[in-house]
Amino acid sequence: MSDANSENDVLGPPSLKKIKIDKQNENGVDDIQLELKDFIPVKILNNNTNRKTVCIQGTFKDKTGVALVLLEKNAFKEEDLDNKGYFSENTKLRTFFKNDIYGNFVCFPLPEINGVKTTIIYPATEKHIAKFSQQEVHIILETPELYEKLTLPHIEKEQFNLQWVYNILEGKSEQDRVIHDNKCEREGFVLVPDLKWDGLTKETLYLLAIVRQRGIKSLRDLNETHLGLLKRVRDEGKKTIFSKYKVPGSQLRVYLHYQPSFYHLHVHFTYLRHEAPGIYAEKSHLLDTVIDNIEMMGNYYKNATLPFTIREMDTIFNVYETNGHVERIKTDK
């Protein structure tokens, strides 16, 4: 679907009662309905009090397989900070204490503006469980030799299934979420909201550009033949976001991850004021810098030493540990 979608189609609030998970519809994509009242929590994998997110592992009644539920408190929307939103006559306060000019309360706003962003992964694999679990993190300085010897064989053996990516590119899934669709097989891409964005709040704007060209796994594969693609993603992405969300290119952080969470080239677009996960130096590479590096040296990313982080439950950690490049943190019990 092209970017002819109405804004309401893209930004409309999701159902809080039923969550639709892909399960075999007429397009070959799965379609089942899951309800949170049927979720049986088993284990809290990660409770991030800083980002106000939590990931719970569990199961669904009468269904086999493990499920993950990710809950995240939504950011405040400026349009709700009025007497129809947080300061309406139906907003309730519960007093913790009052002392002179200071008061500490719990606020209970209208349910419509108090939703919790919810993501369900079902059925979840061991890789998903490891990805969302709280654990120790290490930095690897990956030389081209280490990439060829350790990282690349691991990627080819262990990466996540990419069928969900192909479903989007082939028009089989999530077409109501597509913001922009350039169908050129060489330089085209699809722009969609990232799962971490609720699609509602400008302050947390987060979109992904997924390129149509296959075979580009990550930053390592980029060279001078991809400059046209990279510049088109940057320029059309910025233009589309400004047209739809009125965020100028100068207020967008446009970058690639290394290592990426999935090995089909994609570019992140986030609002500059939003401290999205993965924006830090050990993981994020600004697209403008990537383009500049390739223009200076066409095979820059084939020859560069690149940092990336690995966690102790990641299978690639075992590869680097076995080969003596990292050591597991020992804890006293």
Name the pairing type of β-strands 39-48 and 206-211.
Answer: unpaired
User: Residue 267 in contact with residue 208, Cβ under 8 Å?
Assistant: yes
Cα gap 204→270, rounded to integer Å = 7
Structure confidence at residue 54 (pLDDT): 93
pLDDT of residue 332: 60
46-60, 70-84, 249-263: which is most confident:
249-263
Q: What is the mean pLDDT of the chain?
A: 87
Name residue 94's beta-bridge partners.
106
**Residue 237: its pLDDT value, please?**
98
Is 313's pLDDT higher than 50? Answer: yes
Could you check whether the bond before residue 24 is cis, i.e. omega within 30 degrees of 0? no
Model pLDDT, residue 208: 97
Instruction: Say how many C-beta atoms besides its own lie within 10 A of residue 175's C-beta.
Output: 17
Q: Are 123 and 67 in contact (CB under 8 A)?
A: yes
**Is 52:75 a contact under the CB 8 Å cutoff?**
no
CA dist., res. 304 & res. 140, Å (int): 13
**pLDDT for 219-231, tens place per residue?**
999 999 999 999 9
Cβ atoms of 123 and 66 closer than 8 Å: yes
Count helices and strands (H / E) in the chain: 9, 16
Q: Binding site: which residues? A: 164, 174, 194, 196, 257-268
Q: pLDDT-based confidence at 7, cuts 50/70/90?
A: very low
Three-state DSSP at 241 gives: helix
Note if 138 is an active site residue.
no
pLDDT band at 331 (very low <50, low <70, confident <90, very high): low
Q: Which of 154, 266, 285, 325 is catalytic?
A: 266
Mean pLDDT computed over 100-126: 89
Which of 16-25, 30-39, 121-130, 142-151 is the least confident region?
16-25
Percentage of residues of the chain with pLDDT beyond 90? 65
* Whether residue 271 has pLDDT greater than 50: yes
Q: What is the pLDDT of residues 205-260, one digit of tens each?
A: 999 999 999 999 999 999 999 999 999 999 999 999 999 999 999 999 999 999 99
What pLDDT was estimated at residue 31?
60
Question: What span, in angstroms and rounded, lies between the C-alpha atoms of 266 and 287?
Answer: 11
Helix, strand or coil for residue 195? coil
Q: Delineate the domains of the chain, giving CATH numbers in brackets.
A: 1-74+115-134 (3.30.200), 136-322 (3.30.428.10)
Q: How many residues does the chain have?
A: 333
Q: How many CB atoms lie within 10 A of CB 221?
A: 13
Q: Where are the alpha helices (DSSP H) in 134-226?
A: 144-146, 152-158, 163-169
Residue positions forming the annotated binding site for substrate: 164, 174, 194, 196, 257-268
d(CA 48, CA 54): 6
**Amino acid making up residue 81:** L
